[in-house]
Structure 1
Amino acid sequence: MSHRGTVEKRTTKSYPFFRNRLVNMVVNRIMKTEKKSLAYQILYRAVNKIQQKTETYPLLVLRQAICRVTPNIGVKKT
């Protein structure tokens, strides 16, 4: 039995501008060499282009794109 206390599970914090965890997860995937501000700039430019071209809520389009990219079948080790 461990002498240390139990560790609480941490959830990812949502970015206050969009209030969406998906945005934070996408930014962390874009981010390289700890330049989060650059990753946010890239995401904001992409969101603005989506909004101009489709004239819909850009996070809805982002969520649909991610759902289409993720595989439907779980891959299992044989």
Structure 2
Amino acid sequence: MARRRRSEKRQIAPDLRYEDSVVAKFINCLMWKGKKTIAQNIVYGALDRAAAKLQKDPRELFHSALGNVRPNVEVRARRVGGATYTVPVAVSVDRGQILAVRWLIHYARLRPEKTMEERLGEELRSAAEGTGGAVKKRSDTHRMAEANRAFSHYRF
């Protein structure tokens, strides 16, 4: 952890098709071994596939899926007097966004479809509808924070 100053946030250039920096971040998180073109083809194909099934704009569908997965609170471990408590903490907008991106990609990779484009398209579609593994992860996180609400006074 840096002690001198806060690290600067890098500005990510928007993606080519939708001119959206959040989609560009999603592509960068999906990318493996620097293969950005492959990641772009997967994301664009998945968005087109999901948008065709729901008859929605792909960019609008992506943001609604991300909004349904983005958490408001999470639990963090705090050590107080030799005991460790899981304390519910509010999530900032940036952290909530990156958690939603990670969860969408993780649960898309666990799906049974054949190609990654199909998996991601189905996960985005189900997230936009309010179902799926990533939305379940969000509800589990909120449920855990609600269960540990008694320890919220340990928040620093």
Normalization by structure 1: what TM-score? Answer: 0.78
Over the aligned positions, Cα root-mean-square deviation in angstroms equals 1.9
Matches within 5 A, 1:37-48: 37-48=37-48
Match of 2:27?
27
Q: Distance in 2 between matches of 1:48 and 1:29?
A: 19
Query: 1:15-40: per-residue Cα shift (whole Å, max 9, x none)?
Result: 13210011101101110111000101
Matches within 5 A, 1:1-78: 10-78=10-78
Gaps (5+ residues) in structure 2? Answer: 1-7, 79-156
- The alpha-carbon distance between structure 1 residues 68 and 9, as it changes in their structure 2 partners (threshold 3 A), is closer
Aligned residues: 72
Bigger relative contact order (CA 8 A; separation at least 6): 2
Q: Distance in 1 between matches of 2:51 and 2:14?
A: 21
Q: Distance in 2 between matches of 1:41 and 1:59?
A: 15
Match of 2:141?
none
Q: Distance in 1 between matches of 2:32 and 2:46?
A: 17
* Offset, 1:10: 3.4
Match of 1:5?
none
Q: Distance in 1 between matches of 2:70 and 2:50?
A: 20
Higher helix fraction (1 or 2) = 2
* Offset, 1:41: 0.8
Deviating 4+ runs (over 4 angstroms): none
Gaps (5+ residues) in structure 1? Answer: 1-7
Identity %: 27
